Structure 1
Amino acid sequence: MLIEQRTYQLKPGTLNEFLRVYQAEGLKIQSEALGNLIAYLKPETGDVNRVIHIWGFSSYEDRAQRRAALSGNPKWHEFLGKAGHMVTAQQVELLTGAPFSPIQ
């Protein structure tokens, strides 16, 4: 399994609004396109102005196809117009499990 971990840095004070808009509009659109949401997280300590989400894909090709479908969805672009201004930076990591990891 290919794991994609995305961390979005948010403007201070916008976390709750971002989560509200994402849950109401973005989650369904993104889940339909990407498929396997493993976790959607918010820090309780440290830098609390961010969200981390983790998605699973069967391969690099699967990820590329699913992300292309999401990028081509007009409803996703509408959501980005409502929430994108709250994001100040983004970090994306593609990960694979070590031989002994529960996630392979």
Structure 2
Amino acid sequence: MLIEQRTYYLKPGALHDFLRIYEEEGLRLQSEAWGNLIAYLKPETGDVNRVIHLWGFSSFEDRAQRRAVLSGNPKWREFLGKAGHLVTAQHAELLSGAPFSPIK
């Protein structure tokens, strides 16, 4: 399994608005296209102005195909217009499990 860890850095004070908009509009769209949400997290300490989410894919090609589907969805672009201004930066990493990891 290939896991994408994506972090969105938010404007100070924007966390609750971002989560509300994402839950109301973005989650369904992203879940339909990407399929395997492992976790959607918010920090309790440190830099609390961010969200971290983990998505599972069967391969790099699977990820690329699913991202293309989501990017081509006009409703996703509409969601980005509502939530995008709350994001100041993003960081994404592709991860694979070590041989002894519960997530392979």
Asked whether the two chains share a fold, i.e. TM above 0.5, the reply is: yes
Write out per-residue CA displacement over residues 31-77 of structure 1, whole angstroms, 9 at most, x where no aligned residue: 00000000000000000000000000000000000001000000000
Cα deviations by residue, 1:2-51 (Å, 9 ceiling, x for unpaired): 00000000000000000000000000000000000000000000000000
SS at match of 1:40: strand
Q: Structure 1 stretches of 5 or more lacking a match?
A: none
Deviating beyond 3 angstroms after TM superposition, the runs of 4 or more aligned structure 1 residues are: none
Paired residue secondary structure (1:93): strand
Paired letter, 2:87 = V
* Equivalent AA in structure 2 for residue 57 of structure 1: F
The residue aligned with 2:96 is 96
Mapping of residues 1-104 of structure 1, within 5 Å: 1-104=1-104
d(CA) in 2 for partners of 1:38, 1:99: 19
The percent identity for this pair of structures is 82
How many residues align structurally?
104
- Letter of the 1:76 partner, please give it: W
TM-score by length of 1: 0.99
TM-score by length of 2: 0.99
